[in-house]
Amino acid sequence: MKAYTTPDLMNMLRQLIARPSMSSVSPSFDVSNREVIDLLAGWFEALGFTVEIIPLLKQPHKANLLATIGPVQDKEKNRGLMLAGHTDTVPYDEKFWHHNPFQLTEQDNRLYGLGTTDMKSFFALIIEAVKRFDASRFKQPLVILATADEESTMEGAEMLLQRMCPPVRCAVIGEPTGLKPVNTHKGISMHGIRLIGQGGHSSNPALGLNALEYMHQVLGELLDWRMDLQRRYRDEQFAVPVPTLNLGHIHGGDNPNRICDQCEVHFDMRPLPGMDIDALREELHVRLKKALNSTGVNWTLFPLIHGTPPMHTPIDSPIVRSCEHYCHAPAHAVAFCTEGPYLTQLGIDTVILGPGNIAQAHQPDEFLELSNIQPCVDILSELIAEYCL
């Protein structure tokens, strides 16, 4: 058995939770993830990993971490395994918490704290699994990826696409799935449509160009398009087997007796695997152009977030089969998004599989069931043994 110098599991969990790493598109809630990255860098270095800290391009105070151990040759020769996750958490609302979000609290067979389930704990469990091996005997590489900004801009995952591909063919992302493997999820995009017409006195419609009335036409267009998409695309693996489009926000005008000069609608879309977010936007753009271009109203279609593509890893991929085997559960689809599609774009077959339940994520009093810890370390050990030894 190899000697190691990382702290024990509870001590690692305590330290991970004690370091705030909230990410948010609202600057007032956003902090750096660097303290968590530095902590992980030290622990993985102590285990013999080669550690690379990669600052984000647009936010250099935040960083991804890539830690590698085991022989790396030409990409084609490496079976190997990547274990991945994000180091940031969502912001929290103190008034709804009964525990200190930054102090790991054990109570009722649960560990409370911000990021216990989603998903800083996963990194400590990886270390517990790695400690069971003499990594100098690895015949294939084990790569750890810890990203920034999964909960906000996705810049950490996007940066991966601009770099050389990590030298492995498969990955497990430890998002909370109750230790059941997930091979597919929908994507998400959010867009706004802004119409600018011409204000004027309501007594004479000819004095203006009513943005609210043209919005009526836009809403009809969106609903028609949704019906069309739901006819064209269907996937029975999902609880809601069709792509969705939700009208979530509208604002226009200011006065009943003034012609409305401006109106804006916001909506989200959740495409199925096989649907491309950019192609969808283009399709909508063409529809709007046809509906609005001869009207004189000024219109723009713009993204509200950088969307996440859908993910799909074939059910017969070796990593899906392995995870099903060690978890004693079939792979299934979930409704939430992950960094998985960014890895699959790099040619890495990816399964989402981790401790804790998504119902506890993004909630006050977030917790991880103690009963998930040992089985998770066991599953990770079996994957490492299969893919790295």
Q: Which residues are catalytic?
A: 88, 150
Contact 355, 380 (CB under 8 A): no
Q: How many CA atoms lie within 13 A of 64 on its CB side?
A: 24
Q: What angle do CA 128, 371, 69 make, to 5 degrees?
A: 20
Least CB distance to Zn ion at residue 90 (A): 8
Contact 86, 65 (CB under 8 A): no
Least CB distance to Zn ion at residue 23 (A): 11
Least CB distance to Zn ion at residue 361 (A): 6
Say which residue the tokens 């690379």 belong to: 52
Least CB distance to Zn ion at residue 86 (A): 6
Nearer to Zn ion, 167 or 310 (CB): 310
Least CB distance to Zn ion at residue 88 (A): 9
Nearer to Zn ion, 118 or 128 (CB): 118
Applying CB under 5 A, the residues found at the interface with Zn ion are 118-119, 175
Least CB distance to Zn ion at residue 356 (A): 10
Least CB distance to Zn ion at residue 119 (A): 5
Question: 63-69 and 142-147 as β-strands: parallel, antiparallel, unpaired?
Answer: antiparallel
Indicate the length of the chain as a whole number. Answer: 389
CA gap 290, 386 in Å, rounded: 56
Nearer to Zn ion, 47 or 173 (CB): 173
Nearer to Zn ion, 141 or 354 (CB): 354
CA gap 210, 217 in Å, rounded: 11
Question: 182-185 and 332-334 as β-strands: parallel, antiparallel, unpaired?
Answer: parallel
* 39 residue type, one letter: L
Q: How many CA atoms lie within 13 A of 303 on its CB side?
A: 12
DSSP one-letter string for 311-353: EE--TTSHHHHHHHHHHTS--EEESS--SHHHHHHTT-EEEE-
**Closest residue to Zn ion in the complex (CB):** 118
337 closest CA partner among 306, 368, 317, 311: 311
Q: Where are the beta strands (DSSP E) in the chain?
A: 50-55, 63-69, 81-86, 105-107, 110-112, 142-147, 170-173, 182-185, 189-196, 200-201, 244-252, 258-259, 262-270, 298-303, 311-312, 332-334, 349-352, 367-369
Nearer to Zn ion, 244 or 338 (CB): 338
Contact 351, 331 (CB under 8 A): yes
Nearer to Zn ion, 150 or 261 (CB): 150
378 closest CA partner among 353, 358, 359, 350: 353
Contact 145, 152 (CB under 8 A): no
Nearer to Zn ion, 128 or 151 (CB): 151
Q: Find the helix or strand (DSSP H, E) in which 223 lies.
A: helix 211-232
Nearer to Zn ion, 89 or 313 (CB): 89
Least CB distance to Zn ion at residue 363 (A): 12
Structure tokens at 200: 């004027």
